[in-house]
Amino acid sequence: MTNDEILILRGDEIQSLLEGHEHAIMDRVQKAYEIHSRGMDVLPHSSFLRFPHDPRNRIIALPAYLGGEFGVAGIKWISSFPGNLSYGLQRASGVVILNSMRTGRPEALLEASVINAKRTAASAALAAKYLAQPADEAVVIGCGIIGLEIIRFLKVAFPRLGRLVVYDLDAQRAVHFQRQCLEYLGFEHVRIAAGLDSALHAASLVALATTAATPHIRDLSMLSPDATVLHISLRDLAPEIILSAENVVDDADHVCRAQTSLDLAQQIIGNRNFIRGNLADLFLQNITLDGSGKLRIFSPFGLGILDLAVGSLVKELGISRHVGTLLGSFAPANMGFPQIASARSSQS
């Protein structure tokens, strides 16, 4: 690529490029977390664009700079419109833009939903490796793309994982999810639960990947002792559950806002002492779990640096495999006044 070229990669192309690269994605996500813990990044708060009289839909801007071995800046602009499902469309859509740190110019324009799903799933699987006991069964609540990717990555993190329990308010989505897990992800048994309580009964590893806007789970006493909950959708759990658990997050400043369950918990007690630490603290052995038998909950806000880390991998794979579309610069060839410049040239 030249200084002015921009690589464009569509979602299908990105899906193909990342197929079978789960370990590489998890490695990049872990490195991004570690770089963040060392302060070698810039991570402004995400900006939420919401709409009057429309609480479900939103578009989020996540700008970031990721230093260390990455050296990349960029932004993810991603929408969440749950009503898309009724149109046969995916809930989330968006773009990731990667900028050169030498010229500041955009170098890549990448479809965002595939990157978003895989970096989210990689984050969840890494948390499970450090928080949960080796598992042969997991529960997923919410049978969408994020839930499917979480299961894909959990299968990599826990090779013995062979049984699933799934639940979704939409029974047809649960059946489709079941079929995908059996046919494509190699699971031996996938049970569709009749209800939420049935799904969670005696569970030890749970992934919450719903579109809930407000807490709807107020009791988790039916879980197995020492259970781990991957609270990916951030607003499922009542704040009282959060306050009684051992909580690990990706970044406390980011996750304790925007009416997440942790934000609600913070509002109740006026502090964040209920948060044990960041996931990177576990990687780097800066903290240890207290072993008290408390429920362990991982709540990631979803940091823009993860999109840059996985987006950089996508860009590298696209260039090396000659996949995608290369465009010339978006910048105009002449920023002056072309007619005047031409007239002066003809007079000389």
Where residue 269 falls among pLDDT bands split at 50, 70, 90? very high
Distance, CA of 151 to CA of 164 (rounded, Å): 9
Q: What is the DSSP letter of 161?
A: -
Q: In whole numbers, what is the pLDDT of the chain averaged over residues?
A: 94
How many of the other CB atoms lie within 10 Å of CB of 248?
25
Decide: residue 53, CB within 10 A, 0-12 exposed, 13-18 middle, 19+ buried: exposed
- Give the mean pLDDT of 171-197: 96
Residue 106: name the closest of 251, 1, 227, 243 by CA: 1
- DSSP secondary structure letter of residue 113: H
Which residues neighbour 22 within 8 Å (Cβ) at sequence distance 6 or greater? 122, 152, 153, 156
pLDDT above 70 covers a percentage of the chain that reads 95
pLDDT bin (cut points 50, 70, 90) of residue 3 is: confident
Helix (H) or strand (E) holding 275: strand 275-278
pLDDT of 4:
84
Q: Measuring CA to CA, how many Å separate 177 from each of 137, 172, 223, 285?
A: 16, 9, 23, 36
Q: Per-residue pLDDT averaged across 149-163, rounded?
A: 97
**pLDDT for residue 85:** 85
Which residue is listed with tokens 């049970």? 191
CA 22/CA 314 separation, integer angstroms: 12
Model pLDDT for residues 70-111, shown as the tens digit of each residue = 999 999 999 999 899 889 888 889 999 999 999 999 999 999
Max Cα-Cα span within the chain: 87
Contacts of 3 (CB under 8 A, 6+ apart): 100, 103, 105
pLDDT band at 344 (very low <50, low <70, confident <90, very high): low
Q: Is 346 exposed, middle or buried (0-12, 13-18, 19+ CB in 10 A)?
A: exposed
Spell out the domains of the chain, with CATH numbers in brackets: 6-114+304-339 (3.30.1780.10), 132-299 (3.40.50.720)
Alpha-carbon span 85 to 123, nearest angstrom: 25
Tell me which residue of 304, 300, 305 sits closest to 130, measured CA to CA. Answer: 300
201-227 per-position pLDDT tens digit? 999 999 999 989 899 999 999 999 889
The predicted model gives 244-255 an average pLDDT of 97
CA distances from 218 to 102, 195, 244, 261, 329 (A): 50, 15, 12, 11, 53
- DSSP code, position 46: P
Measured from the Cβ of residue 162, the count of other Cβ atoms closer than 10 Å reads: 16
**pLDDT 10s digits, 277-307:** 999 999 999 998 877 789 999 999 999 999 9
Residues 6+ apart with CB under 8 A from 126: 26, 29, 30, 33, 157, 279, 283
Q: d(Cα 164, Cα 256) in Å, to the nearest integer?
A: 31
